[in-house]
Structure 1
Amino acid sequence: MSDDGALFDKGLPIRRSVLGSDYVDRSLGSADDFMMGIQRAATAWGWGWAWGDPALDRRTRSMINLAMLTALGRPHELKLHVKGALNNGITVEEIKAALLHATAYCGIPAGLDAFKAAHEVLVKEGAIPAKE
């Protein structure tokens, strides 16, 4: 990979702010030499280059990510970005609306997976009550 040092340095605080320092530090700390390649790429390209572009605010980026991760069928990553959306000030109603919008375009199976993943995070984070 080319020299990504500046983008990595730009992306790391953004990644920590959105996903939480504990999660990011665990990801980086547990990465061996093989896994550090993807950690550096994700931080530099995803967070430094994409999220670091000032053309869109973080709320907008969070909403886009929720829709894209629904479309891609990536519930594990969606869970991270639901928490990130909360960190970026997205409300539960806005998360629900984004997932319903994505469901209309991506289909019910993708939407169900996204809603299940989001629900798990929203309950865990105390954003919605657990059903007894």
Structure 2
Amino acid sequence: MFGPDGAENQVEHTTDLNHKLQEFVTRTCFGDIWQRDGLVLQERSRITFAMLIALGSTHELRIHARGALANGVTPVELREIAVHSILYCGIPAAVEGLRALEEVFAERGVSLDLDGEADRA
């Protein structure tokens, strides 16, 4: 999701406590599943972000929002995934998705004025 540098960063922060988990995540999740043919990285990022909203995985939402932006998913697309999740995951889950985006966008210097939608309301 973050390329070879991201994998190296994760491996460098491995401890005896998390070694097996990190090995599985690095090799299986990002080394095998994320590299499969059939979906491009942007699609995988969109799908993953939506699933994490549904699961209520707030920490991972932030990680995968960063990854989605790195993979070329636009801020508007991420917002639309969170808005769409209102229908299928509920308002609290969508709120967590939007909170994650607000935090990540602030870190990345992405304006919250994405497309003028609030001005049209």
What's the TM-score once normalised by structure 1's chain length?
0.77
Q: Which residue of 2 aligns with 1:53?
A: 36
| Shift in Å, 1:27 | 3.2
* CA distance, structure 1, for counterparts of residue 7 and residue 32 of structure 2: 17
1:41-65, Cα deviation, whole Å (9 max, x unpaired): 0011111221010110001001001
Amino acid at match of 1:32: T
| Shift in Å, 1:25 | 4.1
* CA distance, structure 1, for counterparts of residue 67 and residue 18 of structure 2: 22
Question: Are the aligned partners of 2:11 and 2:22 in contact in 1 as well (CA < 8 Å)?
Answer: yes
* CA distance, structure 2, for counterparts of residue 47 and residue 102 of structure 1: 25
1:63 to 46, 69, 73: 46
Equivalenced residues, count: 113
Amino acid at match of 2:91: I
Any stretches of 5+ residues in structure 1 without a counterpart? 1-14
Q: Which residue of 1 aligns with 2:117?
A: none
2:2 to 2, 10, 16: 16
Deviant stretches of 4+, over 2 Å: 23-30
Q: Which residue of 2 aligns with 1:91?
A: 74
* CA distance, structure 2, for counterparts of residue 93 and residue 129 of structure 1: 10
What's the TM-score once normalised by structure 2's chain length?
0.84
* CA distance, structure 1, for counterparts of residue 65 and residue 83 of structure 2: 14
Question: Are the aligned partners of 2:7 and 2:26 in contact in 1 as well (CA < 8 Å)?
Answer: no
1:72-119, Cα deviation, whole Å (9 max, x unpaired): 111111101111111111111111111111221000011111110111
Q: Which residue of 2 aligns with 1:104?
A: 87
Any stretches of 5+ residues in structure 2 without a counterpart? 114-121
- RMSD (CA atoms): 1.9
* % identity of equivalent residues: 33
